[in-house]
Homo-oligomer: A and B are copies of this chain.
Amino acid sequence: MKYLYLALGLLAISPIYSQSILLKWEAVAPGVWKAVVGQPESIHLLGVAGINPKTQVLNKLGERNFPELQKSAVYEIFDHKVYLRFPLEEKEQLYGLGLNFKSVRQRGTVKTLHVDHYGGRDDGRTHAPVPFYVSDQGYGILINSARYLTVYAGTGVRKDSPNPPEEKDRNTRKDWDANPYSDAVEVLVPATGTEVFLFAGNTPLEVVQRYNLYTGGGVLPPLWGLGFTHRTPTLFTDKDVLNEVEEFEKKGYPLSFVGLEPGWQSHAYPNSFVWDQGRFPDPASFIKRLLEKNIRVNLWLNPYASTKSPVYKDLIPHAASHTVWVGVVPDFHVPTARELYKKLFNEQHLSVGVSGYKIDETDGYDTWLWPDVTRFPSGFSAEQIRQTYGLQIQKMTADWFRERNQRTYGLSRASNAGASALPYVIYNDYYNHRDFITALCNSSFIGVLWTPEARSSATSEEWLRRMQAVCLSPMAMLNAWADGTKPWSFPEVAEAVKEVMLLRMQLLPYLYTTFAQYHFEGKPPVRAMPLNDDGQFFEKDIRDQFFLGEYLLVAPFFAGERSRQVVLPKGKWYDFYTGALAGENQIIEVHQSTPGPIPLYVKEGGFIPMIPPQLFPPKKNESLPLIIRYYGTQPSQGNLYDDDGETFDYEKGQYSWSELKAKKDPNGQWRGTIATPSGKPFRYVDIQWEWMVK
């Protein structure tokens, strides 16, 4: 059938098909192909992201065959737009298409991919409307366009379809279907050209790996970025913040970096970008005080400049025609605008020790942001800028830190394709806990990171459940900017919250290795269930559990639940806390009569390297004791990553992959060995092994 289809594409037998042209694919890396349609625009997603493909790793990953059916993918150019058509197998599932909050499977949906604040529907308007979908048939498609793309992910039915759905009389057929089977994904690109990329892979995970590697390999955050972060109330003074930090220590809650919200600025919404002399008279020594405990400082801002800002006057000619909250909107495609920000931000922030930014309101809403009739000095359209603004600011600010050979790890509310290597985590103002976890699943297909931040809760149980989930996410954050909450705000669960926060710290070696796999191998740290190692397909659309790294399976409880189902993939899975066998390729029911720890499972053969509980992130090259938990009944081997934790020296080879081995000796005793390359950074001392499976 696919050949007939291909033939149709070639032979152009109908007046419709006569306008369809086969995509011409050229290999750009092993398992990665590109097709150029019409005249692609000078601004596009991967260009703004400034990707730097990891060619060596892609070569190591090796060649793959071009998926047969996609040889019949076609395009048309009509009405100043590109029409794309990618055939679908009858049984094929699709994932991705942006940071969705309610669904993981995307076949049968229609989306207009548009950077916006998530509005409660998976309609394409979201913080990262990445035009990339992953098929479980071993490929993924990326449309590299900075336009509002409309994607019909298997909804359209052509009258000349070679395999059309059956026509049914609704009057008499109970099985009449309002959404009949569709044999293609169709995409409308409102521009006269675009690049299209195809990433192959034996499993969805391998497809995602290639996407992440091609877009630069995943970000490797600084080690401190993987600790716990607390964002303080907006009008806190330096003393308020220092007191809060002291309270964390006194009460025994860990803290890696604090976030300062709008009040740190002399003027915000729009922004002055300079410290408020009243609340923060001496930023340098304030930050120095925190650095003594190795606690970093992150600054909130949005990019819109106030008349009170030093950049204001010089920025005007390089800004958009329209404002946001009366703030001037810089056009960062103009070098002068970039330089103005770089100079001021270096003076005010980076040079006094600021570790990173939370970049707010680059996403939406339409009633807040500049309208699409806005003009930008660079000559790019408001639409193109809207789709790439968050991405561009991520790249620009990341480069400032890179120039200081200093890693950053911050927050952004807007992103897009090509962001894998950028040191930012997406967050938003939406607050549905279940949907937050579904977003975590979806982030794994599209090369972005997401945090289900905790802000406040109606009950102590909800607080515990939110704090547990966020502590097993890419950024463990309490955002108290508006509510003034603290980890111990709900006394009944204060201890349980402390436990999971300390567990987060204990897991640092595992988490760091997990992110190293993201960076060096393209494997996302959080993985939705379809991104399992075997490419196993699950009958149901699983939205409430995810893998964290190579070995962990996280199944959060939600407030009000006393039991939940957990889908265990193929292979044995063990309880993280006890080592007890949980099951194997089955659905189990987990009960908690009273809210307990967050259910965590470890795969057979899994190594979980941990450190003792600690309150602050390890300093550069600081030595740490290591406990390696092993979960398995069979011998296995794994890896442990390390480097200085703060600089980019790992790009010059200053890192170590240690090989972990677990096997039984002749007496049937488990023995663990760790082999570390000599002369490379390795911070761990007196290593102990824990054999979890009895």
Contacts and interface: CB of A to CB of B under 8 A. Distances in A.
A209 B571 CA distance: 74
Given A109-B367, A186-B373, 16 more contacts: A15-B377, A78-B381, A108-B367, A110-B367, A152-B371, A155-B367, A155-B371, A156-B322, A158-B323, A159-B316, A160-B321, A165-B326, A167-B307, A168-B269, A170-B268, A179-B368
A178 B368 contact: yes
Contacts of A180: 325-326
A342 interface: no
Given A78-B381, A167-B326, A190 B190 contact: yes
A272 to B, nearest CB: 9
Interface string A53-86: 0000000000000000000000010111101110
A351 interface: no
A373 B235 CA distance: 51
Interface stretch (A128-136, A259-267, A407-415, A634-642): A259-267
A150 B381 CA distance: 15
A372 B148 CA distance: 13
A176 interface: yes
A612 interface: no
A370 B156 contact: yes
18 contacts: A15-B377, A79-B383, A80-B80, A83-B373, A110-B371, A150-B371, A150-B372, A152-B371, A157-B322, A159-B321, A159-B322, A159-B328, A169-B269, A170-B268, A178-B367, A186-B371, A187-B373, A188-B372
Nearest to A321: B16
Contacts of A158: 321-323
Contacts of A308: 169
Contacts of A377: 15
A281 interface: no
Interface of A: 15-16, 19, 76, 78-81, 83-85, 108-110, 150, 152, 155-160, 164-171, 176, 178-180, 186-188, 190, 234-235, 262-263, 265, 267-270, 276, 306-308, 316-317, 319-323, 325-328, 366-368, 370-375, 377, 381, 383
Contacts of A168: 269, 326
Contacts of A323: 157-159, 164
A145 to B, nearest CB: 14
Nearest to A179: B367
A169 to B, nearest CB: 5
Contacts of A265: 171
B368 A159 contact: no
A470 B262 CA distance: 52
A375 B75 CA distance: 12
A168 to B, nearest CB: 8
Which residue of A76, A368, A372 has the most chain B CB atoms within 10 A of its CB atom? Answer: A372
Contacts of A78: 375, 381
A316 B159 CA distance: 8
A552 B307 CA distance: 54
A364 to B, nearest CB: 10
A337 to B, nearest CB: 14
Given A15-B377, A188-B372, A326-B180, A171 B268 contact: yes
Which 4 pairs between the two chains have the least Cβ-Cβ distance? Answer: A170-B269, A110-B366, A83-B373, A156-B371
Contact of A381 (B79, B326, B374): B79
A326 B171 contact: no
B152 A373 contact: yes
A110 to B, nearest CB: 4
Given A78-B381, A167-B270, A373 B234 contact: no
A262 B156 contact: no
Which residue of A150, A164, A276, A323 has the most chain B CB atoms within 10 A of its CB atom? Answer: A323
Nearest to A381: B79
A578 to B, nearest CB: 47
Contacts of A179: 367-368
Contacts of A169: 267-269, 306, 308
Contacts of A370: 156
A158 B188 CA distance: 31
Contacts of A319: 159
A157 to B, nearest CB: 5
A217 B628 CA distance: 82
A306 B170 CA distance: 12
A466 to B, nearest CB: 26
A235 B166 CA distance: 22
Contacts of A368: 178-179
Contacts of A16: 321, 375
Contacts of A150: 371-372
A316 B80 CA distance: 26
A16 B322 CA distance: 10
Given A83-B373, A171-B262, A265-B171, A155 B366 contact: yes
Given A155-B366, A158-B321, A179-B367, A164 B375 contact: no
Nearest to A190: B190
A267 B167 CA distance: 10
Nearest to A169: B267
A436 B308 CA distance: 48
Contacts of A375: 16, 19, 76, 78
Contacts of A110: 366-367, 371
A80 B375 CA distance: 13
